[in-house]
Amino acid sequence: GQNIDQPTEMTATEGAIVQINCTYQTSGFNGLFWYQQHAGEAPTFLSYNVLDGLEEKGRFSSFLSRSKGYSYLLLKELQMKDSASYLCALLMNYGGSQGNLIFGKGTKLSVKP
Amino acid sequence: KAGVTQTPRYLIKTRGQQVTLSCSPISGHRSVSWYQQTPGQGLQFLFEYFSETQRNKGNFPGRFSGRQFSNSRSEMNVSTLELGDSALYLCASKELAGGDEQFFGPGTRLTVL
């Protein structure tokens, strides 16, 4: 099976940097997604890591280490609109789950002025 | 291209009733997946359809079923509703069954009284 763990909640200050961690145990996945979800809305794509290392996209960066079973999402220059839940998800590549996303429970980030 | 659409957006039912939710994927996308999202369990995979065939199924009772039509539109049905079925039901589409990024619809908020 897959266990995906993320902190439940985090708080940060506007303009600061925050790192949201995601750890997992799984027997096989193609890549790892990060999604942002504002309250009452659908998840929207932020990043996708296939290989180990850092992927940078503007204010958001995501890192993956397969050997350590670990990923993080880094948000820089935080803005109030970044207050949302951040979901880590694995794209499975084995058996009947191939091609499906398995999600962590999400981290609710609150950005304070 | 228009995004993923879901109807209805909000629904209130009583225990024991049944409900059908609809999802229209992005034009050209042949894979549709359904997820249930609750505060306690997060986003959980229900099933995936591709070319009118169910590819995968999550750990949900047989009361949850779905189908896909030749135009790739999909419906999910929940029979004998229980209070615990109250949730946000999201569908997501992607081009291929083994494809990467899924695009989510806005969801249907189901409340069971």
B24 touches chain A (CB under 8 A): no
Mind listing the pLDDT tens digit for each residue in A69-101?
999 999 999 999 999 999 999 988 766 556 678
Q: Which one of A44, A45, A87 has the shortest CB-CB distance to B43?
A: A87
* φ/ψ of residue A77, rounded to 5: 45, 55
Q: How far is CA A49 from CA A28, A57, A90, B11, B48, in A?
A: 14, 12, 10, 36, 23
Residues of A with Cβ-Cβ distance to B105 under 8 angstroms: 42
Task: Determine contact: A43 vs chain B, CB below 8 A.
Answer: yes
| Mean pLDDT, rounded, for B37-62 | 90
Which chain A residue shows the shortest CA-CA distance from B89?
A: A42
Distance from CA of A97 to the nearest CA of B (A): 6
pLDDT at A97: 59
> Which candidate, A32, A31, A41, A21, places its Cα nearest to that of A109?
A21
CB of A31 within 8 A of CB of A100?
Answer: no
